[in-house]
Amino acid sequence: MDIFQKCHDYTIAKEAIAAGVYPYFIPLTENEGAEAVCRGHRLIMCGSNNYLGLTTHPKVRQAALDAIEHYGTSCTGSRFLNGTLEMHEQLEHELAEWVGKEAALVFSTGMQTNLGAISALVGRGDSVVLDKEDHASIVDGARLSWGETRRYAHNDMADLERLLARLPEDRGKLLVVDGLFSMEGDIAPLPEIAPLCRRYGVRLMVDDAHAMGVLGGGHGTAAHFGLTDQVDLIMSTFSKSFASLGGFIAGDENASKVGVSGGGIACDNTDLFPRHFLLADWNAEIGAVFGGYLDRRALATGVFVI
């Protein structure tokens, strides 16, 4: 059987395109943040990840140009060999400080951060525990690992405790949860999750892709709840509030740097080129101002903007 046959048999997308109702992969002529030009029409953009509106900020654009002028367009190698610049280490130090952790490791994308971190930490005989509404990158990271994946009902603490209680005590365990769920718009109940993790000997990793720059004065979900010291690993992306490309994982030195960097995705991948981590560095600073404002508005109104 031809492995491509299922691709040829799948015709729903083509039928939707022919009918003019296909909603995906729509090309934009221009994307200026709050507005976009599509097929000759200027429209309001309601689906962007540009949470703080920094992608078109004049200083952000100039930082990108300056980085390319000085460093060129590529690091030309993996971090493991010749692709680490002093700027990588500076950014990692500042990101770790930003989220209140000892160390950080950057990746080329947020997706790769979850793939690399989870697959490197969870091995044979280990378990990774996920919320059923966790982002696809978390699920794929668990699939790439050699461990067992267990899932609990969304934000259901009774179901989570039943699951954790059944896991063997002598098994390594990692719980990975979105801090701010992108599709539902609700927040993981970290004040309830963290004590359960401690009770059952489970390490806790929070994906703050949608909370970084928005909650906790811009520092994320753990900071929002005042639980930074009870979250073992904090992950985030640069492609949302930080208006760039890339991602990072932060925690203690051994887990976030030594443990994760030994995985194939961290070792074998050509890393960010300087434009992206210069932007992430600058935008992290300005994100504190915007993030603090958004956090106060959310607490005052009960409405979280994502």
Domains, the chain, with CATH or none: 5-44 (no CATH), 58-301 (3.40.640.10)
Going by DSSP bridges, is the β-strand pair 148-152/173-178 parallel, antiparallel, or unpaired?
unpaired
pLDDT score at 291: 46
DSSP state of 28: P
Q: What type of residue is 244? A: S
201: alpha, beta or left? (left if phi > 0; alpha if psi -120 to 50):
left
List of the chain residues with pLDDT < 50: 282-284, 286-306
Q: What type of residue is 30? A: E
Rounded to whole angstroms, the Cα distance separating 149 from 96 reads 28
Rounded to whole angstroms, the Cα distance separating 178 from 210 reads 8
Helix (H, G, I), strand (E, B) or coil at 290: helix
215: number of CA atoms within 13 Å, CB side? 28
Q: What are residue 251's DSSP bridge partners? A: 103
pLDDT score at 221: 97
DSSP state of 111: H
Judge contact between 125 and 131, C-beta under 8 A. Answer: no
pLDDT score at 241: 85
Is pTM beyond 0.75? Reply is yes
Q: Which residues contact 56 (CB under 8 A, 6 or more apart)?
A: 32, 33
Q: Which residues contact 6 (CB under 8 A, 6 or more apart)?
A: none
What does the angle CA 276 – CA 237 – CA 206 come to, to the nearest 5 degrees?
155
pLDDT score at 220: 95
pLDDT score at 278: 53
Going by DSSP bridges, is the β-strand pair 30-31/35-38 parallel, antiparallel, or unpaired?
antiparallel
pLDDT score at 270: 67
pLDDT score at 199: 98
Rounded to whole angstroms, the Cα distance separating 236 from 246 reads 9
pLDDT score at 280: 52
Please name which of 261, 69, 295 lies closest in space to residue 179, comparing C-alpha atoms.
295
* Residue 146 neighbours by CB distance under 10 Å: 10
